[in-house]
Chain A
Amino acid sequence: MKQLIIIIIILLAVITHAQQFKVDKIKGKVLVQKGTEEEFTQLNKGDILNGDDLIITDKNSFIQLDKDGGKFILDENSALGLSYLKKISINDLLLALAMEEIRNVPKSKNNKIGKNTAVYGEETVVANSMVVTSNNLGERKINGAKQLAENGYQESAIIVAKETYRKYPSTGKNVEDRIYFANLLSSLNLNNEALEEFSTVSKMNLNNDQREKVDEEIEKIKLVLISN
């Protein structure tokens, strides 16, 4: 019984915290993944969505959400976790960026356990077909993040982009997207973070235009940092 109470408390704590959205307009194939569910379901006009839901739009589709009279449109080929559809402070953004390091496993000095463990699995190689990109979810999330930025949620957009680069590593290879979000950091005067991002981009395989643009931005930020 006590066990059940604890689970209910945990769920209640999570649910009561969530914000709600209403589907105002919808066109085409727009799916939702609720909470921690595995499956996606089609959305319809008037549906109520929670803050921990993820919506995905297919090609030639869009969705308009309403939250307390405020409207947000997610265009085609995009994905967005609704928890990010909120204005957050620069401070929270910095906290979110700091989490990157907190999540790392500390270097272990004396982990002696498990070296002699029997491995029951075969040396089976995972077929390429098994490692799918989950409906290009990563790319769609980057698209969703850009729309967040365009609608004034730059801070949230940066968090989504950073998270997506890690969870969907192929998205981090798109130079134009990386430059876009690096510029976003710069526009928020997060110069150190922007410099770090541009420096990472400068090590990627860039064309001449991209190289020129990135070098120019790096110089500009360095000047700002020196003058400060």
Chain B
Amino acid sequence: MYLKKQLLILFILLITVTDTFSQQSLDIFGGFSKLITPKFRINSFESNTMNYNKTIDWEFTFSGAVFIAPKTVSDLMMGSVGKSIGNHYLYARYTPGFRKSFLLNTDTLVTISDTVKILNSKLKYSEKFGFGYNYQFSNKFSGGISLRYFEQSYSQDNVYFYFSDSINTLVTITDEYRKEHWRADIGFSYQPIENLLLNVSSYNLFIFAENGEFIDNQNLELKVEKGAIFGIDFEPINSFYLLANLETSGSFIIGSNIRFNIAEGKLGFGLSLFHDKYQEPFIAGFQPSINYSNRSINLNLTAILYSESHEGIMPANDLLNSGIHNITNNQFSYNTINANLNLALNFKPEKNVEFVDVEIINEIFPTFAEEYISIPFAIAKVTNISNSSVVVKPSSFIQAVNDEIIFSPSITIQSGDTTEVQFFTIISESKSDYKKREISQVDFYLSTDYEEYDDEQQKPILINDQNSWDGKVKNLRYFVKSDITQSNKYAKNILSQKKSLFKETPKPLVNFVRTKELFNNFVSNMQYVSDPRASVEYVQFPTQTLKLKGGDCDDLSVAFSSVLESIGIQTAFVDYISTDGISHVNLLVNTKLKPEEVILITKNDKKYMLRKNVKREDEVWIPIEMTSLTNFETSWDIAAQKFYTVAIENYGLSKGSVVIYDIY
């Protein structure tokens, strides 16, 4: 449902903006999603005007290109440096390869002093260098600016006629016109959820410090029409990315990437296609790419392949009429293969926190699913090795019981401190039926600011089967809760046979009479049997006990508690803790009688106890011994005698030798 919603958002955005957007956003790095590895900047001003990144410290980039032109040439395209300082990021790039030259041959021959000269015009465009800045306002929102410096020149051979009294001559002179300008753009990115990044940026927003012009040939100057780029990066499934950059001129680029874990790093493949308003055909070209990155380096190999060949001699009018809008990607650009190397030089620690140790404190009993939401199954000692306080997000994945990584509550650890971090989990119902005990592996993770985990550890853990019990009476309630529907059927079946009896029963006595009738029926069909396992505690689910018609003390208590709870009669377990560690369990049942009404069921005030309900009103609870499979009165007497003596008279409840565990 969640994925569908995200895809719908993506689809609507694509439809909305397709018609409204020049291909300014094609860069030489392959159109990789910014989500892929924000630690490396595998995109540049062209598609990342706002300088979105999560570089840890320093990053250096070198790019070279091979142009598959009539004469294949190679060139150093770019060198850049980025530095992250807190929430600030600074970027500078030198772009000697960002240039485009044209030779306009007029086919005009001039013969001067027996020398034949061809008149030509030359056009040169280049982007020299640029600077970028980004500020991270929050984990989800950041904004930035880019500044770029351009130079362009136009030179034209002209014939000048010189004359004097004695001599007349023709001279060819090259006239040159130059123009320089700066361009500034802004952009913002917003990451509402981990796998979705939305961004918007301008192009040619501010053109300033303009100097010079192409006199009489202004139409050949680099076009600087203003516009905006709307971008979306999306990871619908793990390691598969979609991206789209749509420009207000109508141009767009869309692409996808996929990544695989390999050799301590990740290998990725991408394919983008782009439409340029100023190029034919509609899909002007493709951009296949391959990428490998690990903690320290990133390598890209990217091709820009145009749908129509741009090689050879072309009519000058094509240029004179439309000019160019983009130096690196225009209707005259050659197919290119770009190679890009990013080096991450990190002088900060690679991680903020690390495990000292992880201890599994509770093996997993699948039936106690609720237990592990509030009680940790493992505790780790974690040290903050950074120079500042960090918020640690612990998470874990137990292969046998989890569908996904489960995050435990975050904890703040001061610099240099070691503290205990608790791990909780959620038992998946769909993962397994938990019929057998097994050893599974737990992956423990610690994460802080970085995209990758700061530290990981793996430990084995015992996953018990669904009938296993840890011997703690308080956890018997999970067996009661697990099978309430069958118990309800059983109870209703018995009670429906006694309708006439209940019709005459005063309402205050309903709970008591139902308990009595259900108990008498329950025990009449039951046999006491010892625990089938010697070493590991085994508890039957109520359905099993009702089906097998027998069980031990725990099984019978659980089953009868489930029967009563299923029809709304509150129960509790009484745990008599003996010094040898072996517990005996009784059941407490809430008759809902008020103290004034107790005479309706007994004249002996040792046979019940009062417990205040949530409204602070006393209600009468009676104990029942489940191993006495005789009748209700006897079981009540036996349990009452023990409860009064041990729990009340000898202060067992206060001393902790008797503990009451409510089912809910």
Residues of A near any B CB (own CB < 8 A):
2-3, 6-7, 10-11, 13-14, 17-18, 33, 35-40, 51-52, 54, 81, 83, 92, 95-96, 98-99, 102-108, 110-111, 113-115, 117-126, 130-134, 137, 166-170
CA distance A1 to B613 in the complex (A): 39
Q: A99-B654, A137-B605 are in contact. Are A121 and B510 (CB under 8 A)?
A: yes
Question: Could you jot down 14 A-B contacts, CB within 8 Å?
Answer: A6-B553, A33-B603, A35-B606, A37-B604, A92-B651, A99-B648, A103-B660, A114-B567, A117-B567, A118-B492, A120-B505, A126-B597, A133-B599, A170-B596
CB contact list, B589-629 vs A, under 8 A: 590, 595-600, 602-607, 609-614, 618-619, 625, 627-629
What band does the interface of chain B fall in when counting residues whose beta carbon is under 8 Å from A? 35 or more
Beyond A108-B614, A170-B596: 17 further Cβ-contacts under 8 Å?
A3-B528, A3-B629, A37-B604, A52-B644, A54-B606, A103-B610, A103-B660, A105-B611, A106-B662, A113-B484, A119-B507, A119-B510, A121-B507, A126-B507, A134-B599, A169-B595, A169-B596
Contact A120 B614 (CB under 8 A): no
**A180 → B minimal CB distance (Å):** 21
Contact A122 B503 (CB under 8 A): yes
Contact A6 B568 (CB under 8 A): no
Contact A131 B653 (CB under 8 A): no
The interface stretch among B318-326, B390-398, B456-464, B633-641 is B633-641
CA distance A119 to B491 in the complex (A): 12
CA distance A103 to B608 in the complex (A): 12
Chain B residues whose CB sits within 8 angstroms of the CB of A38 once the complex forms:
602-604
CA distance A54 to B510 in the complex (A): 29
Partner of B641, one of A35, A99, A124, A131: A35
Contact A123 B507 (CB under 8 A): yes
**B612 → A minimal CB distance (Å):** 4
Q: A38-B604, A52-B606, A114-B568 are in contact. Are A7 and B651 (CB under 8 A)?
A: no
Which residue of the partner chain A has the closest CB to B508? A126
Chain A residues whose CB sits within 8 angstroms of the CB of B650 once the complex forms:
17
Contact B507 A132 (CB under 8 A): no
Chain A residues whose CB sits within 8 angstroms of the CB of B597 once the complex forms:
126, 131
**A100 → B minimal CB distance (Å):** 9
Chain B residues whose CB sits within 8 angstroms of the CB of A17 once the complex forms:
645, 650
Is B117 at the interface (CB under 8 A from chain A)? no
Is B207 at the interface (CB under 8 A from chain A)? no
Which residue of the partner chain B has the closest CB to A113? B565
**A5 → B minimal CB distance (Å):** 10
**A51 → B minimal CB distance (Å):** 8
Which residue of the partner chain A has the closest CB to B509? A121
Residues of B near any A CB (own CB < 8 A):
484, 492, 495, 498-499, 502-510, 513-514, 528, 530, 553, 565-570, 572, 584, 590, 595-600, 602-607, 609-614, 618-619, 625, 627-629, 636-638, 640-642, 644-646, 648-651, 653-655, 660, 662, 664
Which residue of the partner chain B has the closest CB to A37? B604
Q: A7-B627, A113-B568 are in contact. Are A134 and B653 (CB under 8 A)?
A: no
Of all A-B residue pairs in the complex, the 4 with the closest CB atoms, nearest first, are A114-B568, A120-B502, A95-B654, A121-B510
Chain B residues whose CB sits within 8 angstroms of the CB of A137 once the complex forms:
605
**A94 → B minimal CB distance (Å):** 8
Chain A residues whose CB sits within 8 angstroms of the CB of B606 once the complex forms:
35-36, 52, 54, 81
CA distance A120 to B498 in the complex (A): 9
Which residue of the partner chain A has the closest CB to B634? A7
CA distance A123 to B510 in the complex (A): 10
**A52 → B minimal CB distance (Å):** 7
Chain A residues whose CB sits within 8 angstroms of the CB of B625 once the complex forms:
7, 10
Contact A7 B628 (CB under 8 A): yes
Q: A113-B484, A113-B568 are in contact. Are A83 and B499 (CB under 8 A)?
A: no
CA distance A108 to B644 in the complex (A): 26
CA distance A175 to B530 in the complex (A): 54
CA distance A37 to B646 in the complex (A): 18
CA distance A51 to B507 in the complex (A): 36
Contact A114 B502 (CB under 8 A): no
CA distance A51 to B640 in the complex (A): 15
Chain B residues whose CB sits within 8 angstroms of the CB of A35 once the complex forms:
606, 637, 641
Contact A131 B604 (CB under 8 A): no
**B582 → A minimal CB distance (Å):** 11
Contact B568 A117 (CB under 8 A): yes
Chain B residues whose CB sits within 8 angstroms of the CB of A40 once the complex forms:
603
Contact A7 B530 (CB under 8 A): no
**B534 → A minimal CB distance (Å):** 14
Q: A114-B568, A137-B605 are in contact. Are A120 and B495 (CB under 8 A)?
A: yes
Q: A96-B651, A123-B507, A126-B506 are in contact. Are A11 and B638 (CB under 8 A)?
A: yes
Contact A134 B507 (CB under 8 A): no
Contact A113 B505 (CB under 8 A): no
Contact B611 A103 (CB under 8 A): yes
Chain B residues whose CB sits within 8 angstroms of the CB of A83 once the complex forms:
649
CA distance A106 to B474 in the complex (A): 14
Chain A residues whose CB sits within 8 angstroms of the CB of B507 once the complex forms:
119, 121-126
CA distance A119 to B567 in the complex (A): 9
Chain B residues whose CB sits within 8 angstroms of the CB of A123 once the complex forms:
507
Q: A11-B638, A126-B506 are in contact. Are A113 and B566 (CB under 8 A)?
A: yes
Chain B residues whose CB sits within 8 angstroms of the CB of A51 once the complex forms:
649
Partner of A121, one of B506, B610, B627, B645: B506
Chain B residues whose CB sits within 8 angstroms of the CB of A134 once the complex forms:
599, 603
Chain B residues whose CB sits within 8 angstroms of the CB of A37 once the complex forms:
604
Which residue of the partner chain B has the closest CB to A110? B664
Contact B654 A105 (CB under 8 A): no
CA distance A125 to B600 in the complex (A): 13
Contact A120 B510 (CB under 8 A): yes
CA distance A112 to B596 in the complex (A): 28
Q: A110-B664, A168-B595 are in contact. Are A103 and B645 (CB under 8 A)?
A: no
Partner of B627, one of A3, A113, A126, A166: A3
Q: A3-B628, A105-B611 are in contact. Are A121 and B638 (CB under 8 A)?
A: no
CA distance A169 to B625 in the complex (A): 28
Contact B611 A98 (CB under 8 A): no
Chain B residues whose CB sits within 8 angstroms of the CB of A106 once the complex forms:
662
CA distance A213 to B654 in the complex (A): 33
Partner of B505, one of A2, A33, A124, A130: A124
Chain A residues whose CB sits within 8 angstroms of the CB of B664 once the complex forms:
108, 110-111, 113
Contact B641 A11 (CB under 8 A): yes
CA distance A84 to B505 in the complex (A): 37
Chain B residues whose CB sits within 8 angstroms of the CB of A103 once the complex forms:
609-612, 653, 660
Contact A36 B628 (CB under 8 A): no
**A1 → B minimal CB distance (Å):** 9
CA distance A7 to B626 in the complex (A): 10
CA distance A142 to B79 in the complex (A): 96
**A128 → B minimal CB distance (Å):** 10
Chain B residues whose CB sits within 8 angstroms of the CB of A169 once the complex forms:
595-596, 618
Which residue of the partner chain A has the closest CB to B606? A36
Contact B514 A105 (CB under 8 A): no
CA distance A18 to B638 in the complex (A): 15
Which residue of the partner chain B has the closest CB to A130? B600
